[in-house]
Amino acid sequence: MTQMSDTLPSIGAEGDLSSSLRARFGNALPVLAVVLLVAVLSLLAMRPAVAATPIPGSPLDAYDRQIPYDMGAHEIARLSAIISYTLMVATVVLGIVLRMRYFQRNVNRGTVYGAHMTIALSALIFGAVHGLTFTYQPVWDIDTARLLIPFTGGRQRVPVGLGILGLELAVAVGCSVWLQQRLGYRRWLRFHQLSYVAFGLIWLHIFTVHPEPRHLDLVAIGIAAGFLSCLLAFLIRALPSRSRLNQHSFPGERGAR
């Protein structure tokens, strides 16, 4: 009987530990599913490029179709895309930092929150500039209506639609800040977590719209590093820390001290 009674606290501790893990992973599973979906679709999109076929919407494609092409708008689109993606990575990482207890104790929360909001707004502005530049490229066959409605463009409809949908979702998440008090913090937080989905859609747009991210060069390394940085920060936030595991494994230890 003594041995059986001695084992009961450990069983209860294991139950608390498993329930804690289920609670932590329950919140992380939807986002992890999106990440896995993005990875699978990315692998499916990695098809070897055919040398004889120009990239749709590229200068060579415009030349073959006898359509004028603005190289100035092309450079603006490329530069704004790189800046927007870099700022989005910083926004996601700072947003995760805001939720981590370690940084809450050691970093001024107001400073990080202000940086998070400013960088997020800048990322959306550069993303909008990136999209607007394509209205000046006749080869893409995109007007204002097709720029606002996903999957209605003339060239590369699915990759472009993913980018439009991701940016519009990111804008909706950003504008939800003004509804935080009306929605309540928990409901707003659940909606705000759709920013991970928006980032995944935008990353998938980058990965599929042009073959450059699928080749080993400096741009591809930067894109992969940004995605892995966000994934690592999210996993650190989602997975339970060792101190929390010890706390659930030995619930009476702190009281005994």
In this prediction the pTM is: 0.73
Closest alpha carbon to 136 in 71, 211, 56, 54 = 71
| Local confidence band at 106 (pLDDT 50, 70, 90 cut-offs) | confident
Per-residue model confidence (pLDDT) at position 231: 87
Per-residue model confidence (pLDDT) at position 233: 83
Compare 68 and 36 and report the one with higher pLDDT: 68
pLDDT score of 199 more than 60 = yes
With a CB cutoff of 8 Å and minimum separation 6, the contacts of 254 are: 247
CA angle at 123 for the pair 75 and 42, rounded to the nearest 5°: 75
The arithmetic mean of pLDDT across residues 140-144, rounded, is 90
Compare 133 and 25 and report the one with higher pLDDT: 133
Q: Where are the domains of the chain?
A: 10-42+70-251
Mean pLDDT over the full length of the chain:
78
218-238 vs 2-45: helix axis angle to the nearest 10?
160
Per-residue model confidence (pLDDT) at position 202: 94
Do residues 80 and 70 touch, judged by C-beta distance below 8 A?
no
